[in-house]
Structure 1
Amino acid sequence: MVRTTQLLLVLLTLCFCLSRADRVVLDKRAPPPASGSPSQQHQTSSQAPSQSPAPLQPSGNSTASSIGANNTLSGNINGTMNSGGNNTNSMGSLPTSASYGVTVQVGYATFLAPTASKSVSPLYRVDANENITFSWSYSNLLVRPANLTLAAVGPQSATFIIAALNGDATSYVWQLNSVVPKTPLMNGYYQIQLYDQRGPTAIPSPGWMMPQSRLTIAFYTPESYRPITNSNYCPTCFYSAAMALKDTFGPLGIGFGIACLTSGLFIYGLVY
């Protein structure tokens, strides 16, 4: 019994020694603990990937900046073209001579006054006190005219130069007392023409003003009332002639009617 007890003690001692040795080996293999609390270590490890180094700035002009510059340049050019076509740009900023491609529309002027209907042209008296106001607007104009001519072409191709205007003019008042008496205005229709320094037969060109001749006006000469003083004038002559015709042919008509009726009755009696 004593021997058995001694054996158990020896076994327990060996087990205790072996466990101690394993613990010493494990302690040697484990890494040394980091400074700070575990929560601080976790924060440090989670923030580490977000702190990336700042990108290096390229030296010189980059491709993006050059593309932006080109876009800005093309935008300025397109803006100038559109503003000139829509007449939002001032006439003073337009060139007096330029050449454009066939994709650019032809400029033209539209008369705003006088206004005409589809069937009736504006009518004016040939009178020294008469004034005619012309006004117009521009569209798709990219070349400013050096000068403008406003003219009227009447019957038998008689041409009246109404005025020579600046290239940026948009209205004019024609005073008929300025018409030379040697070449007076005649009754009839007049075609109003508006053209630049190239003349009324200029070929339409992109951006340039096309000659305008779509407005037509008419003139007439008023006449004052003159009462008739001739002795042969007889306001009641027609009435008197009708009464005389009635008095002359009335009895004849009645007699002819009675004769026709009598003849008819006689023929009816013979037949039936």
Structure 2
Amino acid sequence: MSSASAILEARELDVVLGSARVLHGVDLSVTAGETVAVLGSNGSGKSTLVKTLIGLHPATSGGVRLYGADPAGPSRAVPWQKVGYAPQRTGATTGVPATALEVVASGLLHRRRLRPGRDARARCLAALAQVGLADRAHESVQVFSGGQQQRVLIARALVREPDLLILDEPLSGMDRASMDALAATVAALQRRGATVVVVLHELGPLAGLITRTVVLHGGRIVHDAPPSSRGTDPGVVDAHPHPEPPAAVPTAPDLQRQW
């Protein structure tokens, strides 16, 4: 199913979660250097799609390829060190507290590397500086606001200096200054040729950076083209939070998990 130029692919992808079919026959191919916005209303399947693309949800039928390999399979062929992922964080739960620096350092770990490396501290502080939180590196993320927690997770994704960055609702809970900082970060990634896939309700401050919009409705792709001049695409403006259960506040790194 893989094409030579694609780094991320889905072909005839169906995903069933519980008793609900969330994705229906999705075909998607992302090539190096693109900045793709995945748009849609609540319940359209946006987050499920990106989680399936990196192996966090299994495909029920069809298939997914990440750098030519199955991200959910037992193979070690996926070069995880090239991939950065920041999930949406909208809520808080209890857990073992971790500092912002510790959360970001966990981004340097992957299936082939269980130690952050000698330059980890400098890299983590640099990533936190990109999101404006270097001065709070040693504070527990449990005292951070939702928007600040989101910025920490973006820093965790950035610390790898990834070739592919996947962001799930990164603008959630952010103030305008943080949004502008994120836009500057995405622009810097573009300049070095990185690929960005970002889940959004609307393009907002990222509008001028998006090269392609993919719109989901009812678990199907209904639009796939360059963004419209209005900054959004039909039927995707929805300011309400995503309905999936909120993820936990970051805790001490779990070495049994990829993300």
What's the TM-score once normalised by structure 1's chain length?
A: 0.19
Greater relative contact order (Cα < 8 A, sep 6+) = 2
Q: Which has the larger radius of gyration?
A: 1
Bigger proportion of residues as helix: 1
What's the TM-score once normalised by structure 2's chain length?
A: 0.20
